[in-house]
């Protein structure tokens, strides 16, 4: 795995472009780089209820040779894709023997980097009670039975109890850690005068921002009329108006600590199962406190946001064009040649690899296990490094990236599955010039590729089906030989080939002498055995792409190119030997008798296939007459 003679840390995360995931992955890579480790980040995207999509996304957990990892970092609270975490844990238990660190959620079997969630909200809630004298405090928490939701809700209840404020269940609403929850909560609380709040405490920033927006729709001003706070300190809380009072995790410190634990174990330091890191409280405008703003910093951030929005609009537009441009692509080589022109949609990338199973267009199922994947052959169909298109190459899937294209310095790659619904085709790997993750647009970009691969696969399947149907239409069902229809189409092609190459064409005609007597004595089943035996004898005698044809009943023809007297003599000898062997061992005890004739000619443009066949037929009928006279 990432065979550049360096140790590798594997990181498991969902939605790597989200702010928390991006920041912690950057911190992990920076620290790992200092210690000389590679970082392989195995990421995926949520399917928003599409189960088949998520099953395929979870298969990123099965492309890893776990025994070759030198450390594993889990971000469990991000692993929202169905079956993803269970597959990771199963594979760690079965294959891994390296240090494993869980960040933010405690796993007793591993080392842990944890946040003191149970006291994280203490300062904000007490700030509302002590400094602002609020007593009507509403709380918007996360989903029910979610550990983080429960901890933050318990903190709210504990601090209210500490200050003698009664807990009113109507002031507590369970949300979903997402934007819609804020609107629903505000509608519920404001529809009942008894639950009108002085302050609304939210269990994350997304819900806090949506609460502010929902209040503004009602003409309620934050913080003049109602104060609001959040949790997580995401970037937008600084730029929102009013800026959001919130609690932030020291994300970079958490990432560094996770790497430190792995490196410490690898150099023989004692294992430390639990490390706690404190939250930081940020008092801003949304709670009613005025904060001094740095005008220069505001100017820089405003320009940065405008640039980000412009870049996002441009990316959305170009992603849409990419989708249109790839719609008609039905050949893999065409996709491979077009893809490099769209790489600059992934700003800041340094290298990209599209790796497909060698049988990707025939493989129907997901990756059932690590062994199912790692033993497979993979083809790097597209490789781009520092702007240069690399030569296609085939390698073992367990390597993940061909070692010939890896630099000696520490590497960092994001890996994602390539699939359409539950059908997996391979995976993509991308790295960046700086310590960063891909943007949110990367999901759409990969989806364009996956949809094109599915279109290529369907086109290939249609071609195979058409070929199969065409083959069936010119094949004799019982013998497997070509039928009379093939004589017209394929025979004519052989004739034209001989004319073009000025080579000799051979036509061989054969007819059974005694099929009627076999049918009369042994029935049509016996006759079918005899006919099939003649067909097998013709196939045994053929050695150079001859067309073997059953014209119907007991009549046969063979057409071959580049024949001479020696070659036809060998064909007839092999044919007669095959018939003789059949007659020697056949049960029931009947013998096959065949009359045949042949013709070798060097055709010109005026000669027809019928003329060639006629000469062979005449010789065959002469042989048949001689047999009858000799009886």
Q: What is the mean pLDDT of each run of 10 residues along the chain (631 residues)?
A: 92 94 95 97 91 93 95 94 95 96 94 91 96 97 88 95 97 89 95 96 94 96 96 88 92 96 96 91 91 61 61 74 91 95 92 92 63 80 95 92 93 96 93 88 94 90 74 86 89 92 94 92 91 95 91 94 94 95 81 94 92 93 88 65
E-strand ranges in 87-179 read 100-103, 111-115, 137-141, 172-174
CB-based contact 539:548 (threshold 8 Å): yes
Kindly report the CA angle at 489 between 487 and 490, in degrees rounded to 5? 70
Q: Which CATH class is domain 477-630?
A: alpha beta
In the chain, count H helices and then E strands: 17, 22
* Alpha helices, H only, 474-564: 484-501, 515-541
Q: How far, in Å, CA of 515 to CA of 528, rounded?
A: 9
pTM for the model stands at 0.72
Reduced to 3 states, what is the DSSP secondary structure of residue 298?
Answer: helix
Q: How far, in Å, CA of 411 to CA of 282, rounded?
A: 35
Alpha-carbon distances of 442 from 45, 64, 102, 321, 436, rounded to whole Å: 10, 22, 26, 15, 13
Look up residue 350 and give its DSSP letter: E
* Alpha helices, H only, 218-327: 236-239, 251-266, 295-326
Alpha-carbon distances of 286 from 131, 308, 383, 388, 489, rounded to whole Å: 14, 25, 49, 50, 81
- Which position has the token pair 């609001």? 228
Nearest to residue 98, comparing CAs of 29, 28, 3, 9?
Answer: 9
Q: State the span(s) of the chain assigned CATH 3.40.50.2300.
A: 121-230
Q: How far, in Å, CA of 326 to CA of 324, rounded?
A: 6
Tell which CATH classification among 3.40.50.2300, 3.40.190.10, 3.40.30.10, 3.30.1180.20 matches the domain 121-230: 3.40.50.2300
Residue-level pLDDT at 443? 92
Is it true that the peptide bond before 205 is cis, omega within 30 degrees of 0?
Answer: no
Reduced to 3 states, what is the DSSP secondary structure of residue 574?
Answer: helix
Please enumerate in sequence order all residues whose Cβ is within 8 A of that of 269, keeping only pairs 6 or more positions apart, or say none.
Answer: none
Residue-level pLDDT at 317? 80
Q: How far, in Å, CA of 225 to CA of 258, rounded?
A: 43
Q: How far, in Å, CA of 244 to CA of 438, rounded?
A: 27
Q: State the span(s) of the chain assigned CATH 3.30.70.270.
A: 477-630
What tokens were used for 309? Answer: 């929005």
């Amino acid at each position: 795995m990432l065979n550049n003679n360096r140790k590798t840390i594997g990181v498991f995360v969902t939605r790597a472009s989200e702010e928390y995931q991006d920041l912690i992955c950057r911190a992990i890579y920076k620290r790992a780089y200092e210690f000389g480790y590679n970082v392989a980040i195995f990421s995926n995207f949520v399917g928003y209820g599409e189960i088949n999509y998520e099953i395929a996304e979870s298969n990123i957990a099965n492309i890893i040779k776990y025994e070759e990892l030198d450390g594993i970092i889990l971000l469990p609270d991000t692993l929202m894709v169905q079956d993803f975490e269970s597959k990771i844990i199963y594979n760690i238990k079965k294959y891994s023997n390296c240090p494993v660190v869980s960040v933010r959620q405690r796993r007793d079997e591993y080392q842990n980097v944890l946040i003191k969630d149970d006291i994280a909200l203490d300062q904000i809630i007490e700030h509302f009670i002590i400094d602002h004298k609020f007593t009507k405090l509403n709380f918007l928490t996360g989903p029910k039975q979610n550990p983080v939701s429960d901890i933050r809700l318990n903190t709210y209840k504990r601090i209210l109890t500490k200050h003698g404020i009664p807990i009113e269940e109507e002031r507590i609403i369970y949300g979903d850690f997402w934007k819609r929850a804020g609107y629903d909560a505000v509608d519920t609380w404001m529809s009942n005068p008894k639950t009108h709040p002085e302050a609304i405490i939210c269990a994350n920033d997304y819900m806090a921002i949506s609460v502010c927006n929902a209040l503004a729709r009602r003409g309620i001003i934050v913080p003049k009329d109602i104060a609001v706070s959040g949790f997580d300190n995401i970037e937008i809380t600084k730029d929102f108006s009013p800026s959001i009072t919130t609690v932030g995790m020291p994300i970079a410190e958490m990432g560094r600590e996770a790497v430190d634990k792995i490196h410490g174990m690898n150099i023989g330091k004692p294992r430390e199962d639990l490390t706690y890191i404190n939250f930081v409280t940020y008092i801003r405008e949304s709670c009613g406190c005025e904060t001094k703003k740095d005008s220069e910093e505001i100017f820089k951030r405003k320009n940065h946001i405008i640039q980000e929005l412009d870049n996002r609009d441009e990316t959305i537009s170009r992603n849409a064009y990419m989708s249109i441009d790839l719609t008609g692509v039905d050949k893999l080589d065409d996709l491979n040649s077009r893809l490099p022109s769209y790489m600059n949609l992934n700003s800041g990338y340094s290298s990209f690899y599209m790796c497909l199973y060698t049988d990707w267009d025939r493989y129907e199922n997901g990756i059932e296990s690590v062994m199912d994947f790692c033993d497979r052959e993979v083809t790097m169909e597209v490789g781009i490094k520092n702007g240069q298109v690399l030569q296609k190459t085939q390698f073992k899937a367990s390597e993940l990236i061909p070692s010939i294209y890896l630099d000696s310095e520490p590497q960092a790659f994001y890996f994602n599955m390539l699939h359409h619904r539950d059908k997996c085709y391979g995976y993509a790997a991308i790295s960046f010039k700086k310590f960063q993750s891909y943007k949110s647009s990367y999901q759409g970009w990969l989806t364009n590729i996956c949809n094109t691969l599915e279109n290529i696969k369907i086109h290939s399947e249609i071609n195979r089906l058409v070929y199969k149907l065409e083959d069936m239409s010119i094949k004799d069902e019982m013998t497997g030989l070509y039928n009379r229809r093939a004589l017209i189409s394929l025979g004519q092609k052989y004739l034209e080939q001989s004319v073009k190459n000025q080579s000799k064409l051979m036509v061989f005609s054969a007819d059974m002498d005694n099929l009627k007597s076999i049918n009369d004595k042994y029935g049509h089943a016996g006759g079918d055995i005899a006919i099939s035996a003649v067909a097998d004898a013709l196939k045994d005698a053929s050695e150079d792409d001859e067309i073997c044809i059953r014209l119907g009943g007991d009549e046969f023809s063979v057409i071959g190119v580049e024949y001479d007297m020696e070659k036809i003599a060998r064909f007839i000898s092999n044919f007669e030997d095959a018939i003789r062997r059949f007659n020697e061992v056949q049960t029931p005890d009947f013998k096959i008798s065949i009359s045949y004739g042949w013709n070798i000619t060097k055709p010109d443009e005026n000669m027809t296939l019928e003329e060639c066949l006629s000469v062979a037929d005449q010789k065959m009928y002469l042989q048949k007459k001689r047999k009858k006279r000799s009886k």
